[in-house]
Each structure stands twice: as C-alpha cells, then as structure tokens.
Structure 1
C-alpha cells in the first residue's frame, strides 16, 4: 500500500487514521504492519464503502482538504470499488534498532551465511558483497548512479538493497544509502578494516522532504536536523528546491526533538 509523505506524517502525528483507495480487491489485511519512511504503520480495518457515503469527517481523518478534494482524489478508475482503510502508528521501524547492533563473531558467521544464500539464489550470481562495497564507497549517492556502476537495472538494484536493509546492514537516506554500523562491521570482517569519513552525527534529514529539498540543503552543507535548526526558515525558503511543504516537514521533525528554526 503506497502512501504519500503527507499521509505518513499525519499518521505518525495522530491527525490521520484513515486512507481511501480504489482497488479491484483489498490489498492489505487487518493487522498488516507497513514499514515506511516514518516507522511502522498498522492496518486496523479494511472495508468496502460507497463513494456516496463518504462524509466531511472521513475527509478530515484522511488528511484531505475537504470532502470534494477526497472525492476528486478517488475519481480515477471509477470502475473499481472504494476501500476504507483504518490506520495507526505502530512505532519506529525495528530495523533501526538492528542496524546499530554490532554483531559478535559468531553472529557475523550467521549473517555471512545468509548473504551466501542470497547470492546462491540470485539469477545474476553473487551480488551481496559488491553491493555493500559500492554503498560503503559512495554513501548518499543516488541508486541509479550506483546501479549503473554495477551494470544493473535500477529497480533490481533497489530490490536487492532492500534485502540487505532487512538484515540491518544498510540504511536508506533522503538520497541514496549508507552502510549501518552493523553493515560496516560485517564488511570489515570480510575485507579488513578500511578508513571511512567520520559518520555524521545528528539526526538525518527526513526522507519525506523530497530529493530536490535534500539536494538544496546538502549544497549548503546542511545534512542533519540539528544543522537545519541553525537556519532561519526564510533563509532556507530562499534556496531553490526548498518549498513550503519541505519546510513544514522539517519543522515538524525538529519539533519532536525540541528544536526549531533559528529566530
């Protein structure tokens, strides 16, 4: 179930607890836990509803500007039924905890055996170590650029990176990836320790602000929410690519940490 950044932020904040979709059949079940850019979102209900029965309260709970706006969003594919999906925030993604856990030698052996199984099952042959290495050498680089260096199609490359993320070895950034501390430990066990640029301290920029805003902030050496808090909102607004939606999402993310824009 795909969700827009605004929906995700609304569910996390508790202002959104419904979503409406036109599907040929239910695409999620009650109890489904969706891992998203803002954490885990749980599906609490799924039911088919008539478009004519939607009310303003449904629109509000879905984060729509109005009932008309909600119906306009559901105007496509009118031959498909409308489903009302209940949602609630289920907390942070457990992979965030896993990627910061440094494995013991015995656990590293188990992790490497799992990577060997992925390699053996792949139609392109071994890929896990090469993927870890290229992410390690080129953190915060776009997936299409990394895939091109490996001679791979971007969708297949992204799918494989997600398999590494499931094991806590990589983490997704607003643009590109980086190895987690767990991933660095595993790769160092294979290749020997290597010198890396110091890991940025602080809270990474939220992925929900979008790539244009992320690129604009990186261009002025702003890579974390703590660094954002040193800027005035109006100064960031003057950067090409940083629009009001991105600014609002940055503000909301900082507020959770007790931070805000400089005055």
Structure 2
C-alpha cells in the first residue's frame, strides 16, 4: 500500500488515521503491520465501504470527499477504508547502518545473491533475476529476506548493499 509522502508527518502525529484505496482485493489485513521506509504502521481495520464522508476524507488527509474520490478515479475495484496508526521507526534502518555481523550465517544461495547485488547496484530486479536465470517475483522475495536482515537497501531503481551487507561480505573474503 503506497502512502503519499506528504501524509507521513500527519500520520506520525496522529492527524491522519485513515487511508482509502480502490482494490480488487486488499493488500493489507486488519491486525497486521506494514513496514515501510518511513516507519511501521499498525493496520487496525480494513473494511469495504460504499461511500466516504467528509469527516473520513479529512481523517485521510483530504479537504473533501470529492478530492479523495478523485485520487482513486480510474482505478478498478471496491473502496476499502483502512484505519491505521504509526507505531515506530523501521527497525531495519538501524540494523542496516550497523556493521555488526557476528553470528550471522547465510546459506550459499543468499550469499550469491548478496554478491550479485554488490556487483550490480541500482540494476532493476527484473534484469538481475534474468542475469541468473530466475523469475522476477521469487527473486524479489529473496532480496526482501536479505533486506529484513539489514543487508540490502532498496533504491529508486534496484538495490545496493547496506553497510551491514558490506561488512558481512568482508567477513567471507
């Protein structure tokens, strides 16, 4: 679920507590969390709605219901109201900046993937996957596992090693 960058300060402060999306099926679940580069959100409710009130539009960061509906214009699916709240910074951010790797062990395929990213920073996932004969989606899932360990960072296009990822590779050389 993408959130407008302009809304993040207001989500952190609690001023924005709702988001609305038009989806064929929801991409988040009530009771779950959403980790993003801007922080971690608790997803408290996901509900299909048939209309949006002005108060709900304001709680979602829009001046009117009409402005909110125009944001979703052209998208297919039902309208979902997502109640959310900021619960903290992304714990991966601190982990990425650390060079502490004692006790971290990766299987050989993960190490090969880390080396591939190190040699090709900023290269699209589809191109990296193709270069090693893999499908893009499973490839990206494996990169997310490295990211969860603080070893890689997503760029606007592609990936790069984090300081922790670089430190890990140095222990292998």
Q: Secondary structure of the equivalent of 1:128?
A: helix
Residues 100, 62 of structure 1: alpha-carbon distance in 2 compared, 3 angstrom cutoff: same
1:60 & 1:47 partners in 2: Cα distance? 18
Q: 2:127 aligns with which of 145, 151, 167?
A: 145
Q: Normalising by structure 2, what TM-score?
A: 0.79
Partner of 1:98: 95
Q: Which protein has the bigger helix share? A: 1
- The answer on 1:68 being equivalent to 2:69 is no
Partner of 2:114: 132
RMSD: 2.8
Q: Which protein has the bigger strand share? A: 2
Q: Normalising by structure 1, what TM-score?
A: 0.55
Question: Larger RCO: Structure 1 or Structure 2 (Cα < 8 Å, ≥ 6 residues apart)?
Answer: 2
Residues 44, 135 of structure 1: alpha-carbon distance in 2 compared, 3 angstrom cutoff: same
2:29 & 2:115 partners in 1: Cα distance? 35
Q: 1:7, 1:63 within 8 Å by CA — same for their partners in 2?
A: no
Partner of 1:29: 30
Unaligned residue ranges in structure 2 (runs of 5+): none
Q: List aligned pairs for 1:100-119, cutoff 5 A.
A: 100-103=97-100, 105=102, 107=103, 111-112=104-105, 115-116=106-107
Residues 161, 17 of structure 1: alpha-carbon distance in 2 compared, 3 angstrom cutoff: same
Q: Secondary structure of the equivalent of 1:140?
A: coil
Question: Alpha-carbon deviation of 1:100?
Answer: 2.2
Partner of 1:3: 2
Partner of 2:159: 177
The alignment of Structure 1 onto Structure 2 pairs a total of residues equal to 169
Which is higher, the Rg of structure 1 or of structure 2? 1
